[in-house]
C-alpha cells in the first residue's frame, strides 16, 4: 500500500500543500475546498505526522513523561493519577521508559523535546550534570519527580522522615539485630535520604547492637540472592527493605528457608504496594501518596506551561501501615520473665508438697494411738 504524503493529498485534491496544512490545523479554508480534501483523506486513509504538525502548532497539548519502569506499582499509581489529571485539562501523555539507564533517560528527554511537547516530567532515580545542562538548554518546561533538583523545579516524597519513623519503630519493638537492604547510593532519595532516616531512627535507641547494611540494585532476583546469603550466615531479628519489591523477595526467601514471619524474623518495606496486603501476615510498610504526587505534578507542570509562578520544591507525605510482619520483642521478653516467675512458683509448690509427703511418711512409720480403732 502506498504511503501518502501531504503533497500527495494536495495534488489529488487540486490544492496547495499549505491549504492541506491549514485543513489539518483547523485553519480557515472554503467549505468547498475542505470537502475536496476530506474526500481524498478518507479515500487514502492519510494521517498527518504528529511531529510535523507540532512544528507548526504553538501548543501541542502533549506532555512527555520519562519513567524508570512501568512494572513498579508505585510508579504505576503515579502515572495513572498524572494521566487522569492531565486529561481532565485537555492534555495527553507520551510515556517513555528507561529501565533505570541514565543514557536512555537523557536520550528520552532530548527526543521528547524534538517532538515539541508542551512540557516534560522526569521521574528520576539519579541526577547529574547532564540533567543540569538539559535544564539550562531547554525552552520546554521541565519538572523532576522523586529527586530534589536545586537547579529547577521538583516534587519529592519525604524519604528521610519515612526512614526515621521506620528506624524508631523497629527499635521501639525491641529489635536489636537488624539487616537493612538498601539500593545504590546514586539514587539520592532512596539510596541516601531514606537510608539516613532509617539509621538515625535506629541510633536513637542504644539497645540496637548490630545493624548490617547490604546494597543492591533495583532487582527482585538480586534481592532474593542477597537475602538467601544472609540467612545462610544467621537469622536476624528484622529485615528492613528499601522498597516493597525487595521486601517481597525477602519474604519469599524467608519462607523457603522454613522460617516464619514474624515469629522467627520480622520484615518492613517502603512503597505501600497493594500486593503487600495479600501476604500473610500483611507487610508493615510506608505508603507514599503516589496518587497525590501525580496530581501535583500535572497541575504544577500546566502552571509552568502557562508561565505561572510555582514552588521550586514540593514535599509530599506518607502513611505508616503497621501490618502483622513485625514482632514486638518487648512483649516476648515480658512473657519470658512471667514464665520464669511461674516456674519459680511451681518449684516452690513442688517443694512444699514434697515436705508434706515426707511428714506423712514419718507418721505412717511411727506410733499412732488411733491405729486399730
And the C-alpha cell for 298?
500535572
Tell me which residue of 179, 180, 184 sits closest to 218, measured CA to CA: 184
Strands (E) across 167-325 are located at 177-183, 210-216, 238-241, 266-270, 284-288, 313-316, 318-321
Three-state DSSP at 184 gives: coil
pTM listed for this prediction: 0.74
Which residue is listed with cell 521550586? 312
Q: What is the pLDDT along the chain (373 residues), one digit of tens a residue?
A: 567 888 899 999 999 988 888 787 656 788 889 889 989 988 888 877 655 555 455 678 899 999 998 888 999 999 999 999 999 999 999 999 998 888 899 899 989 988 889 999 999 888 888 887 877 777 889 999 999 999 899 999 999 999 999 999 999 999 999 999 999 998 999 999 999 999 999 988 767 778 999 999 888 999 999 999 999 999 999 999 999 999 999 999 999 999 999 999 999 999 998 888 888 999 999 999 999 999 999 999 999 999 999 999 999 999 999 999 999 999 865 433 334 443 444 455 445 545 545 554 544 454 343 333 2
Q: How far is CA 93 from CA 9, 66, 231, 319, in A?
A: 29, 10, 44, 28
Which residue blocks in 89-194 are alpha helix, DSSP H? 102-114, 129-137, 159-172
Which conformational region is residue 258 in: left (phi greater than 0), alpha (psi within -120 to 50 degrees), or beta? left
CA–CA separation, 215 vs 221, rounded Å?
14
Amino acid at each position: 500500500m502506498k504511503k501518502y504524503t501531504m503533497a500527495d493529498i494536495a495534488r489529488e485534491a487540486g490544492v496547495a500543500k499549505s491549504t492541506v496544512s491549514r485543513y489539518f490545523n483547523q485553519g480557515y479554508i472554503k467549505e468547498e475546498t475542505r470537502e475536496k480534501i476530506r474526500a481524498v483523506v478518507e479515500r487514502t486513509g492519510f494521517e498527518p505526522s504528529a511531529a510535523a504538525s507540532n512544528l507548526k502548532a504553538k501548543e501541542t497539548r502533549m506532555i512527555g513523561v520519562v519513567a524508570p519502569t512501568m512494572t513498579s506499582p508505585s510508579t504505576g499509581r503515579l502515572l495513572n493519577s498524572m494521566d487522569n489529571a492531565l486529561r481532565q485539562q485537555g492534555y495527553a501523555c507520551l510515556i517513555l521508559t528507561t529501565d533505570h539507564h541514565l543514557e536512555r533517560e537523557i536520550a528520552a528527554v532530548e527526543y521528547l523535546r524534538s517532538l515539541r511537547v508542551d512540557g516534560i516530567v522526569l521521574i528520576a532515580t539519579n541526577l547529574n550534570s547532564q540533567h543540569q545542562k538539559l535544564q539550562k538548554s531547554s525552552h520546554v518546561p521541565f519538572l523532576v519527580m522523586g529527586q530534589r533538583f536545586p537547579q529547577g523545579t521538583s516534587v519529592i516524597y519525604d524519604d528521610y522522615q519515612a526512614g526515621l519513623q521506620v528506624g524508631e519503630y523497629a527499635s521501639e519493638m525491641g529489635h536489636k539485630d537488624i539487616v537493612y537492604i538498601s539500593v545504590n547510593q546514586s539514587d539520592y532519595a532512596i539510596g541516601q535520604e531514606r537510608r539516613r532516616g532509617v539509621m538515625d531512627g535506629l541510633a536513637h535507641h542504644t539497645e540496637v547492637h548490630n545493624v548490617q547494611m547490604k546494597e543492591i540494585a533495583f532487582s527482585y532476583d538480586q534481592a532474593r540472592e542477597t537475602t538467601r546469603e544472609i540467612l545462610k550466615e544467621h537469622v536476624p531479628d528484622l529485615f528492613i527493605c528499601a522498597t516493597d519489591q525487595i521486601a517481597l523477595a525477602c519474604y519469599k526467601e524467608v519462607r523457603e528457608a522454613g522460617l516464619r514471619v514474624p515469629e522467627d524474623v520480622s520484615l518492613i518495606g517502603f512503597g505501600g504496594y497493594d500486593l503487600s496486603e495479600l501476604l500473610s501476615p500483611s507487610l508493615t510498610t510506608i505508603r507514599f501518596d503516589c496518587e497525590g504526587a501525580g496530581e501535583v505534578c500535572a497541575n504544577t507542570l500546566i502552571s509552568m506551561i502557562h508561565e505561572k509562578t510555582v514552588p521550586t520544591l514540593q514535599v509530599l507525605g506518607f502513611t505508616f501501615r503497621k501490618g502483622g510482619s513485625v514482632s514486638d520483642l518487648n512483649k516476648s521478653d515480658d512473657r519470658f520473665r512471667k514464665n520464669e516467675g511461674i516456674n519459680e512458683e511451681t518449684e516452690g509448690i513442688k517443694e512444699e508438697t514434697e515436705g508434706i509427703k515426707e511428714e506423712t511418711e514419718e507418721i505412717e512409720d511411727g506410733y499412732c494411738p488411733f491405729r486399730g480403732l
